Amino acid sequence: MRNWGVRIALFALMLPFAVGDATARKLKKEELIALHLKSIGENAVRKNRVAQGTGTMDIRVGGQGNLNGRAMLLSEGDKLRTALIFNHVQYPKETLIRNGDQLDIAYITTGVRSQLGTVLWENFPRLVQEGLYAGVLSTDWALLKLKDKRARIRYRGLKTFEGRKLHEVDYKPRKKVRYRVRLYFEPETYRHVASKYRIVVPRSAMRGLTNISSGGGAPVGSGGGITPGNRTVSNSQSSLLGQIGGPGAGDDPTTRSTVELTERFSEFKQVDGLTLPHHYQITLNVDANTGFVGHWAMQLERMSHDRQIAPKAFVIP
C-alpha cells in the first residue's frame, strides 16, 4: 500500500496513451483509479463543498408513502453533514453528521431512527467514517486518499450492474468490517456511478426498524392532509415507515436477512472545474424474509466550493 501514490501518479502520466482502448480491456487497479480521478478533474481535493437542492423519500415495500422537501450536503476535510428536511410530524428530517471518526445519525422521533438511519448506525457506520458514503460528493472521498486509508482494493473487471456493464472494484477498509463493499465505474467515462454494501444479519438484528406511523397525523399548522414540501398526501396514505420484520421476527436465530444499501450517482455536471453528480440516490433493500424497499434522494441544484462553513455545522450533539 505504501506505493499506491507513486503507482497512480505513473498511470496518470500514461493516461493520454491508455484511454483510447481502456474501455475494451481489463485494467490494472491503479490504472482504473487514476482514470477515475482524472474524470473528476484537476485539483479534485477541495477545502470544502456546499450543495443544496430538493430531497425525496419513497417507501415501496414494507410500508407506503413519499415525502418531498429540501436537501443539503456540507463537506469539509473528513467532516460531512447531510440532511433531508421534510417538516413532517413523524419524519421531520433525516440528518447525518460525521466529524472525523465521530458519527451521529439523528433520531426522527424520540429514541427512534428511520429505517435508513437505523441500518447506517447499526450495520454500516464504518463506510461513513471511511469516506465511502456520498461518494465523490464528500471531500474525504476514499479514492482520493487511498494511501492514507490503507484499504485493500481488488479490481474485478467489467460486471453487469442493473443491466449495465461497469468496472467493478472490491473495497476492503483497513479496519475489518462484516459487510461487502463494491464500487462501480462507467467504462466510457470512469465516473463513479454506484456503490453497493451488503451484509447478512439475523432477523433479530433488525429490531430497530419499527412502524412509527400507525397514528397518522399532520404537521403542526397544516390542515387534514400531510404537506411535505410541495406535495400533499392524505392521512389514509401516510404509512410512511412500515414494519420491517413482523411478530416473531427474532424467534428463530437461524433465520437471516440480507440487507443491501445501494448508492447511485448521476446527472454529472461541471462545477468549478470538477465533474460531479447532481443526483444522489440511496436505496435500502431488505430481503423477502422481512420485506422492505425504500429510496432517499437528493437533486442538487446549487453547488460551490471553498466557502466558509460554520464549525457548528459538524458538531456532534
Q: For position 201, what pLDDT does the model report? A: 85
Walk me through the domains of the chain, giving residue ranges and CATH numbers.
27-242+253-317 (2.50.20)
- As a whole number of Å, the end-to-end CA separation of the chain is 36
SS3 letters across the chain: CCCHHHHHHHHHHHHHHHHHHHCCCCCCHHHHHHHHHHHHCCCCCCCEEEEEEEEEEEEEECCCEEEEEEEEEEEECCEEEEEEECCCCCCCEEEEEEECCEEEECCCECCECCHHHHHHHHCCHHHHHCCCCCHHHCCCCHHHCHHHHCCEEEEEEEEEECCEEEEEEEEECCCCCCCEEEEEECCCCCCEEEEEEEEEEEHHHHCCCCCCCCCCCCCCCCCCCECCCCCCECHHHCCCCCCCCCCCCCCCCCCEEEEEEEEEEEEEEEECCEEEEEEEEEEEEECCCCCEEEEEEEEEEEEEECCCCCHHHHCCC
Distance from C-alpha of 214 to C-alpha of 18, rounded to nearest angstrom: 58
What's the pLDDT at 263?
A: 98
Q: How far is CA 222 from the centre of its chain?
A: 32
What is the C-alpha to C-alpha distance for residues 35 and 33, in angstroms, rounded to an integer?
A: 5
Q: How does pLDDT run along the chain (317 residues), one tens digit per residue?
A: 445 554 554 444 454 444 445 555 678 999 999 999 999 999 899 999 999 999 999 987 877 789 999 999 999 999 999 999 999 998 999 999 999 999 999 999 999 999 999 999 999 999 999 999 999 999 999 999 898 999 999 999 999 999 999 999 999 999 888 899 999 999 999 999 999 999 998 876 655 454 444 333 333 222 222 333 333 332 323 334 443 333 333 444 457 889 999 999 999 999 999 999 999 999 999 885 568 899 999 999 999 999 999 999 999 98
Burial (Cβ within 10 Å: 0-12, 13-18, ≥19) of residue 307: exposed
pLDDT of residue 125: 93
* Residues sharing a CB contact under 8 Å with residue 201, sequence separation 6 or more, in sequence order: 123, 256, 257, 259
**Cell numbers given for 237:** 396514505
**So what's the pLDDT on residue 211?**
47
Residue 231, burial from CB neighbour count under 10 angstroms (0-12, 13-18, 19+): middle
Global pTM reads: 0.82
Residue with cell 482502448: 21
